[in-house]
Amino acid sequence: MTTLAAAIPTPPGGNAQLIAAAVLGIAAVVALISWLKVHPFLALILGSATLGLVAGLGATKTIASFTKGVGDTVGSVGLLIALGAMIGGLLADSGGGDRIVDTVVQRVSDRQLPWAMAGVAALIGLPLFFEVGVVLLVPVVLLVSRRSDVPLLKIGIPALAGLSVLHGLVPPHPGPLVAIAALKADLGLTLAFGLVVAIPTVIIAGPVFGSFISRYVTAVAPAELIPSREREPALVGAGPGEPDARSGAATAAGTALGARAAGGGSAGVDDEQRRPAFGPTVATVLLPIVLMLLRAGGEVLLDTKSNVRAILDVIGNPVVALLAGVLVAMFTLGMAVGMDRRRISDSVGGSLPAIAGILLIVAAGGGFKQVLVDAGVGQMVGNAAKGASLSPLILGWLVAVGIRVATGSATVATITAAGIVAPLAASLNRPHVALLALAVGAGSLFFSHVNDAGFWLVKQYFGLTVGQTIKSWSVMETIISVVGLACVLLLSLVV
């Protein structure tokens, strides 16, 4: 099937008209989200309409292009987001996340706590959305800080860094998945490179920066947010920030966790002592990741006619790997703690409403990307970039940075930037296409500020002023973005 762009003549205004269309389309999205507080889903639809009409597509072709982009994106990304959310729901409702946190934290000294919290956050951040991880981890951070001599931010920043890095760089989180789909990157390679980039990025933005900033910013959590007993997470709203896609799971996750802590959640575990064992919990979380990495390794090391590679291609397919993770989690996280079939079903099903907003934003972003492509804007950017000395990796990062700062949404930044730089991927080899997806993801995390819901979530949980939140959280996000790009560039020299 040919794309609409193949049948669309160059606009009468040429590149100038395409540039105007791109600028006005993106400006419409930014203005609607930032100034008028329109939900990103609607903003992306209206921005797509502006882009298509100004570029000369016409109303009918703009609608067709947008609809095709929505369908393609939901088909390629929606399944993965839903399956990942199901694993996260079982991890939260069974107490598996609590088990990982407790086991690690209880075995380390005060000096090792920042490093331990960064590792725990990265581990449970694999299947969990950012705010769900915050709901699980921050109450523990508050308690540990209160019972030890470790400053709150010294262990809080590493935990936030671990969650944020995984959210922005590693599948199956929505942002990386959307970038992979838009750029047609190899998921296995992107996952492998993402984990390589994540390790030094978490270390520098987490324990290293946390130790530094805790000397200058004193955080004192509000007394009402400190749990009165160890497994009673305090729930808090995200504040008046822009509704980033990653914040969509916060309310539902917080409700489920709060119900479990109170002993009355329908999907939770009544007896807080009946939590899954540490080993099976970690194995369950890592299972989909390991299967996808095995597939990537098979593609590199095994012959295309190998039977082993054929098997790895199937079990390492992202949908199959995540489905396997869900099925295993039902036993290792659900039945293992005494949840009956109804409660397991409630936990799995209860994880889906929380991601409805995320799926809608991602789908609309796919439509916006397709209009960019079919109008010829993406190809124009690609042609311009070929004649410039700017690296595609840096260009992708810069585009994502600009949209992130303007809208506050990491997911919107990833979707839009990936659509704009998608034509550049055609001239890159497979490893560099995967690195381009990571560069876009790194740019989408740059300098979270007052238009980001995550900013207000952190401010309230840690009892910070706006200025203190900028000095700690916003700078941490910027470090993640810059260090992530630096690691991507270094990897590009050797792959």
Token readout for 247 is 């914040």
Determine the pLDDT at residue 245. 40
Token readout for 217 is 């910013």
Please choose, from the candidates 296, 318, 323, the residue with its C-alpha nearest in 3D space to the C-alpha of residue 188.
296
How many other C-beta atoms can be found within 10 angstroms of the C-beta atom of residue 480?
A: 28
d(CA 438, CA 433): 9
d(CA 261, CA 273): 11
d(CA 404, CA 412): 7
Sequence-distant (≥ 6) Cβ neighbours of residue 470 within 8 angstroms: 449
Indicate if the alpha-carbon torsion angle 60, 66, 69, 74 is positive or negative: negative
Determine the pLDDT at residue 231. 38
Determine the pLDDT at residue 239. 35
Long-range contacts of 318-322 (CB under 8 A, 24+ apart): 318/80, 318/171, 318/172, 318/187, 318/288, 318/292, 319/79, 319/80, 319/83, 320/291, 321/287, 321/288, 321/289, 321/291, 321/292, 321/295, 322/80, 322/83, 322/84, 322/87, 322/172, 322/288
447: phi then psi, degrees, rounded to nearest 5: 40, 75
Whose tokens are 């507080």? That residue is 37
- For residue 303, the one-letter residue type is D
d(CA 447, CA 404): 8
Determine the pLDDT at residue 232. 40
Residues 491 and 250: beta-carbon distance below 8 Å: no
Distance of alpha carbon 335 from the chain centroid: 29
Distance of alpha carbon 9 from the chain centroid: 37
pTM: 0.74
Residues 441 and 484: beta-carbon distance below 8 Å: yes
Determine the pLDDT at residue 236. 36
Determine the pLDDT at residue 149. 77
Residues 368 and 51: beta-carbon distance below 8 Å: yes
DSSP 76-136: IIIHHHHHHHHHHHHHHHTTHHHHHHHHHHTTS-TTTHHHHHHHHHHHHTTTS-HHHHHHH
DSSP 18-57: HHHHHHHHHHHHHHHHHTS---HHHHHHHHHHHHHHHHT-
Question: What's 270-322 look like in SS3?
Answer: CCCCCCCCHHHHHHHHHHHHHHHHHHHHHHHHCCCCCHHHHHHHHHCCHHHHH
Please choose, from the candidates 41, 59, 37, the residue with its C-alpha nearest in 3D space to the C-alpha of residue 368.
41
Determine the pLDDT at residue 247. 40
Distance of alpha carbon 299 from the chain centroid: 26
Sequence-distant (≥ 6) Cβ neighbours of residue 49 within 8 angstroms: 62, 66
Please provide the size of the chain in residues: 495
| Residues of the chain below pLDDT 70 | 1-14, 131-132, 135-136, 222, 224-273, 378-379, 381-388
Determine the pLDDT at residue 11. 58
**Alpha-carbon Rg of the chain, whole angstroms?**
22
392: phi then psi, degrees, rounded to nearest 5: -60, -35
Q: Is the peptide bond before 12 cis (omega within 30 degrees of 0)?
A: no
Please choose, from the candidates 392, 368, 490, 416, the residue with its C-alpha nearest in 3D space to the C-alpha of residue 42.
368
Determine the pLDDT at residue 156. 94
Determine the pLDDT at residue 345. 93
